[in-house]
Amino acid sequence: MARDDLIGGALWEEYSSEVQRRMDNPSNMGEITEAEKGNNELVIADFGAESCGDAVRLYWLIDPKTDTIKTSKFKSFGCGTAIASSDMMAELCMNKTVDDALKITNIDVEKALRDNPDIPAVPGQKMHCSVMAYDVIKKAASIYKGVDMDSFEEEFIICECARVTQDTLLKVIKLNKLSSIEEITDYTKAGGFCKSCIKPGGHEQKDVYLVDLLSEVKEELEAEEKSRKIIEAKGNGDFASMGLVQKIKSVESILEEYIRPTLKADGGDVELIDVKEDNDSFEVLIKYQGECMSCSMNTTTTLAGIQDMLAFKLKANIRVIVT
């Protein structure tokens, strides 16, 4: 049966010539045996993708004196895209140290398979094959180093295809006030390939999805808006016309957003004790916590900074007193 019959002519055109070539004639397929080991260390790593049933076995022949991968081969038990991705992955590992090989991502594999730098090498739904190639590198490195492969992940990845972390997504969504999956994809590429990270029901189950992050940021922004409205609640935002509860909430919201992050970064904090009116001015009573209690600047620079910020944000004559 012709390949066009198996895949479909239109879809086949979405595969680069390099991918097609490596599907038919991979350069690095094979195995490395103990007889070839010599004074080098042989690492054999297996990794399977539960989402599609594909699996890959990676062979590394490593010089233990330099940690350099002298030979890299693979065997793939899966589709043609898995073969092409694994072939390129094995090639990219060659002559690199194990640490440098760990820096190879699925994006590097996919881009290396492109004919044109601006045109993806495979359709989005097949991007997960290059993710498997990335994962087997981690597995091989973990065997060589004697550690758990999860230790190589420093951040929580939401979109495996584009290697986009949860922290990055939260920052981008909030900063740009994104409100749709389409906007997230435009800004970060997350969700633009296999789409498993968008919502439950894709080919790969996730702990956190893009829809969850959208909901989380929406709730956070709504809370901030509510806090802002408290400040503007009475007298068109006039602090003097607010009731005591509103004054306390207004001061608290400014401390939380503008003051505490800096203090907490140095191991300190500040507690709002009370707000009192004194003729045309207001006394804000605070109490330092943590490292701020013993800081030499808690009655000078830090105190002035808190007072200036409250006066600026509340547009009122504020005097901060440490209790």
Alpha carbon distance 301, 283 (integer Å): 18
Alpha carbon distance 206, 208 (integer Å): 5
Side-chain half-sphere exposure of 24, counting CA atoms within 13 A: 8
More confidently predicted of 159 and 270: 270
Q: Is the pLDDT of residue 259 over 50?
A: yes
The per-residue pLDDT for 198 is 93
Model confidence over 95-115: pLDDT tens digits? 999 999 998 887 889 899 999
Q: Is the pLDDT of residue 271 over 90?
A: yes
List the domain boundaries for the chain. Answer: 3-153, 164-220, 234-322
Catalytic residue among 52, 93, 161, 292: 52
Across residues 59-85, what is the average pLDDT?
93
The per-residue pLDDT for 62 is 97
Across residues 10-31, what is the average pLDDT?
88
- Give rounded-to-5 percent helix, strand, coil for the chain: 50, 20, 35
Q: How many CB atoms lie within 10 A of CB 197?
A: 27
Could you give the 3-state DSSP secondary structure of residue 27? coil
What one-character DSSP code corresponds to residue 233?
A: S
- In angstroms, the Cα distances linking 35 to 32, 41, 231 are 8, 12, 76
Tokens of 208: 């956190």
Q: Is the pLDDT of residue 88 over 90?
A: yes
Tokens of 196: 């498993």
Tell me the pLDDT band of 11, cut-offs 50, 70 and 90: low
Across residues 282-307, what is the average pLDDT?
92
The mean of the pLDDT values for the chain is: 86
**What is the CATH code for 234-322?**
3.30.300.130
**What is the CATH code for 3-153?**
3.90.1010.10
Query: Cα–Cα–Cα angle for 233, 238, 241, nearest 5°?
Result: 85
Tell me the pLDDT band of 132, cut-offs 50, 70 and 90: confident
Tell me the pLDDT band of 244, cut-offs 50, 70 and 90: confident
Tokens of 156: 């929580």
Catalytic residue among 79, 93, 129, 194: 129
Give CA torsion, residues 296, 302, 303, 307, to 10 deg. 170
Neighbour-count burial for 288-308, b at 16+ CB within 10 Å, e otherwise: beeebeebeebeeebbebbbe
Active site residue 295: no
The per-residue pLDDT for 243 is 83
Sign of the alpha-carbon dihedral angle for 121, 125, 129, 135: positive
DSSP symbols for 261-293: HHHHHTTEEEEEEEEEEETTEEEEEEEEEEGGG
Max intra-chain CA distance, the chain: 92
Model confidence over 148-175: pLDDT tens digits? 887 776 678 888 877 788 988 898 888 7
Query: Cα–Cα–Cα angle for 305, 308, 313, nearest 5°?
Result: 125
Query: Could you tell me if 189 and 162 are in contact, meaning their C-beta atoms sit under 8 angstroms apart?
Result: yes
Query: Could you tell me if 106 and 100 are in contact, meaning their C-beta atoms sit under 8 angstroms apart?
Result: no
Alpha carbon distance 147, 115 (integer Å): 37
Across residues 18-34, what is the average pLDDT?
95
Q: How many CB atoms lie within 10 A of CB 4?
A: 12
Active site residue 129: yes
The per-residue pLDDT for 12 is 64
